[in-house]
Structure 1
Amino acid sequence: MNAYLTSLSAIVKREALRFVHQRERFIAALVRPLVWLLVFAAGFRAALGLSIIPPYQTYITYETYIVPGLCGMVLLFNGMQSSLSLVYDREMGSMKLLLTSPLPRWWLLFCKLIGSTAISVLQVYAFLGIAAAFGITMPLIGYVTVLPALVVAGVMLGALGLLLSSFIKQLENFSGVMNFVIFPTFFLSSALYPLWKMAESSELLYKICAINPFTQAVELIRFALYANFNGTALFWSLSAAVIFTFVAVWGYNPARTGLAKRG
């Protein structure tokens, strides 16, 4: 048990130090959602009318609506950024040392996932703090009840990043794959507009958005910010996290990737 805890502490600490030394990563993680919140929302406010939908009890501004989606954006981009570091580690050889340790590789990848999720959650709270400074606030209890939702969503999206990194062999190929995954995942969701709006324009797009795991993560965060429980979103988010993690662990099998043979 001491070996497991030591590895968890070491990997999480390594992730934290890497994040601290990459200040531009923290700034970029906040700039993206703030641009949407303060710039794009001003233009979309008039174009996208919002009805009263759960968990909201009254009409809300468009800026208020997209805050949970932008929290999901922070988690999504950080999950992809963390997976990029895995591809880099594999090219540099440190991934080989990690996966050939006596501890199970599922535990080592889980530690990596916990570290990246903790950083993601801190970034989300920083974003919520800046949004509150601009007058876009949530119920006070929501800042507490959203924590478990952020952890679940962060683990799911971090596991998606792990899955992608297990199949990407070269660092140069990562940006293309990342964009191919991030933008459809983000835009085909309820992050920027409610699903009933999508249903008005295309039934097919509505169905795609509804089954998108990112949509479930966003709705889980949205309800949690108002101290409401969304069991459906929690179930599908956890299910996606388990599936992504299982496939990622299989993808990092040294016998399959040849990591054990490289020296």
Structure 2
Amino acid sequence: MNHYYTAFKAIALREMLRFLQQRERFLAALVRPLVWLLVFAAGFRAALGLSITPPYETYITYETYIVPGLCGMILLFNGMQSSLSLVYDREMGSMRLLLTAPLPRWFLLFSKLCGATFIGLLQCYAFLSIAGAFGISMPTVGYLAALPALLLAGIMLGALGLALSSFIKQLENFAGVMNFVIFPMFFLSSALYPLWKMAESSELLHDICALNPFTHAVELIRFALYAEINLMAAVSVFLTAIVFLSIAIWGYDPSRGMKRK
């Protein structure tokens, strides 16, 4: 167990140190959702009406509605950027040292996933603090209740990035694929608009958004911020995380690479 703990600590600490050395990454992670919160939301506020739907018990501002979706955006971008470093490490050769360690492959990947998710949690709570300073706050207990929801959502989205990085061998290709994954997942979800609003324009669009794993992650965070649990969303996010992580483990299987050769 000491070997497992040492490896977990080393991999997670490496992620933290890399993040601390990239201060621009932290600023970019906050600027992106803050632009949506403070600029775009001001324009959409008058155009979009919101009904009273769970977990809300009264009418809310549009800025309040999109906060959970913007937390999901932070976790999504963070998961992809963390996996981007795996592609870079593979090109530089350091990835080989990690994956040849005498420990199960799944444990090594899960350790990196946990380190990246912890960074995403820090970014989310920094964003929530800034949003609170602008008067967009949640129930106090919700900030604590949201921790497991953010953790589970971060693991799922980070596992998606790991799965993609296992099949993409070049840094340039992964950066391009990120755009084809991030933007459809974000915009075809309940992050910016309620699902009932989607149904008004297109039933097909509503069904696509309802099936989007990112929608379930956002709704899980949304309910947790009000100290409630969305059981269906929690189960969906958990099962999807297992599927993505399983694909990543299979993709990084050295025997599969030998067979392909």
TM-score range (shorter-chain normalised) is: over 0.9
Q: Deviations over 1:217-260 (max 9, x none)?
A: 000000000001110000000000000000000000112235xx
User: The residue matched to 1:161 in structure 2 has which SS?
Assistant: helix
Alpha-carbon distance between aligned partners in 2 of 1:105 and 1:194, rounded to the nearest angstrom: 40
Deviations 1:187-226 (A, max 9, x none): 0000000000000001111000001000000000000000
- Please state whether the residue corresponding to 1:117 is helix, strand or coil: helix
Shift of 1:176: 1.1
CA distance in 2 between partners of 1:192 and 1:226 (Å): 18
2:144 aligned with 1:144, yes or no?
yes
Give the CA deviation at 1:101.
1.1
| Counterpart Cα distance in 2 of 1:30 and 1:257 | 38
Whole-angstrom distance in 2 between the partners of 1:208 and 1:43:
26
Give the drift of 1:91: 0.5
Describe how 1:211-226 pairs up with structure 2 within 5 A: 211-226=211-226
1:21 match: 21
Q: Is 2:76 aligned against 1:64?
A: no
The answer to whether residue 41 in structure 2 is matched with residue 41 in structure 1 is yes
Runs of 4+ in 1 over 4 A off after TM superposition: none
Task: Give distance in 2, aligned partners of 1:151 and 1:190.
Answer: 19
Report the secondary structure of 2:89's partner residue: helix
Once the two structures are superposed, what CA deviation does each residue of 1:121-175 show, in whole Å capped at 9, x if it has no partner? 0100000000001000000000000000000000000000000100111001111
TM-score (norm 1): 0.98
Instruction: Tell me how far apart the structure 1 counterparts of residues 102 and 173 of structure 2 sit (CA, whole Å).
Output: 31
Contact (CA 8 Å) 1:99, 1:254: kept in 2 or not? no
Residue by residue over 1:56-109, the C-alpha shift from the partner in whole angstroms, topping out at 9 and shown as x without a partner, is 000000000000000000000000000100000010111111111110110000
Residue number in structure 2 paired with 1:182 = 182
In structure 2, what residue type is equivalent to 1:164?
L
Matched residue type, 1:39: V
Q: CA–CA distance in 1 between the matches of 2:4 and 2:40?
A: 45
AA in 2 matched with 1:225: L
CA distance in 2, matches of 1:163, 1:194: 29
Give percent identity, aligned residues only: 76
Point out where structure 1 has 5 or more consecutive residues left out of the alignment.
none
Query: Following superposition of structure 1 onto structure 2, how do residues 107-186 of structure 1 map, counting pairs within 5 Å?
Result: 107-186=107-186
**TM-score in terms of structure 2 length:** 0.98
How far apart in 2 are the matches of 1:48 and 1:111?
Answer: 42
Q: Distance in 2 between matches of 1:229 and 1:254?
A: 40
Q: CA RMSD in A?
A: 1.1
| Matching of residue 50 in structure 1 with residue 50 in structure 2 | yes
